[in-house]
Amino acid sequence: MARRLLQTARRGLMLAVFPEGTFDAAPGLQRFHSGAFTAAWRGRLPIVPIVIRGARAKMPAGTFMPAPGALAVHVCEPIPARSTSSPGALLEATRTAILGELAEPDLDAPSLRYMRA
């Protein structure tokens, strides 16, 4: 998947990914999948984190049609891949930016990772 993402980006197309890979009823930022971050880091492409607030209320887990209403969208500053030392560091920088704007708990915090191990 990371290879396909990188090939698409190298053709000059913008990509949008949801790194959690799912939507859950419980508030909080879940674990990120690393594919998009690996592709961005290898391709030296910036990540632009975007936070969407209100989506959980407008389209609860298990529904297929969103309810009418407004959403709040915050576009964070781009994170240049070259400013990080690895795909994992790019992932963590993105996660930190999103958590700074989200006002929801980190469901994959290092302390929680330790407790699940």
Q: What is the pLDDT of residue 117?
A: 44
What residue has token string 């984190």?
49
Position 32 in a domain: yes
Separation of alpha carbons 55 and 86, rounded Å = 31
Least confident segment among 21-25, 27-31, 40-44, 81-85: 21-25
Q: How far is CA 16 from CA 49, 62, 74, 80, 91, in A?
A: 10, 22, 15, 16, 15
Position 108 in a domain: yes
Position 87 in a domain: yes
Q: How confident is the model at residue 115 (pLDDT cuts 50, 70, 90)?
A: very low
- Residue 91 is part of which domain span? 2-49+78-116
| pTM score | 0.82
pLDDT tops 60 at residue 100: yes
% of the chain beyond a pLDDT of 70: 92
Q: What is the pLDDT of residue 116?
A: 46
Q: What is the pLDDT of residue 64?
A: 84
Position 70 in a domain: no
Token pair, residue 48, equals 């632009």
Q: How confident is the model at residue 2 (pLDDT cuts 50, 70, 90)?
A: low
Position 59 in a domain: no
Position 89 in a domain: yes
**Helix runs in 17-86, H state only:** 35-43, 55-58
Domain count, the chain: 1
Position 57 in a domain: no
